[in-house]
Amino acid sequence: LNNEITIFEKILAGEIPSTIVYENEHVVAFKDIIPKAPVHVLVIPRKKSRNLTEIAGVPETEIGHFLKGVALTATALGLDDSGYRVVINNGRDGQQSVEYLHAHILGGRPLKWPPG
Ligand code: AMP
């Protein structure tokens, strides 16, 4: 298992700058530096999992707090009326590039389907 410190842990620790748009006891949400839509925010759990596969070992309440954090972030961003998309890239074929579980919230324009 790869135990490398990721860029998202550095963002959580305040060691590198980010634009935080929502946070609570369980999650932190910040703007993606290379936005793929007018609104592009990443939501991460304060407690690290490396990817979606790993959450099989995480208590359901924590997983619930993560998903709820995604919903609360979208509400805070004012996206509820227009709608939005939530994406979790997992592993190589999913093109996950940061090994710290994160959900992308994409919105602010009509999104195409299917992706990639
Ligand atoms: P993924 O490809 O699903 O692992 O997504 C990783 C995302 O993190 C990409 O959309 C990157 O643009 C974004 N990203 C990388 N470094 C930073 C950073 N320092 N601050 C904000 N977003 C970042």
Q: What is the number of other CB atoms lying within 10 angstroms of the CB of residue 53?
A: 11
Question: In testing the pocket of ligand 1, which one of 5, 97, 99 has its CB within 8 Å of the most ligand atoms?
Answer: 97
41 and 73 Cβ atoms separated by less than 8 Å: yes
74-98 pLDDT tens trace = 999 999 999 999 999 999 999 999 9
37-78 pLDDT tens trace = 999 999 999 999 999 999 999 999 999 999 999 999 999 999
20-40 pLDDT tens trace = 999 999 999 999 999 999 999
Give yes or no for residue 13 having a pLDDT over 70. yes
Closest atom of ligand 1 to CA, residue 16: 19
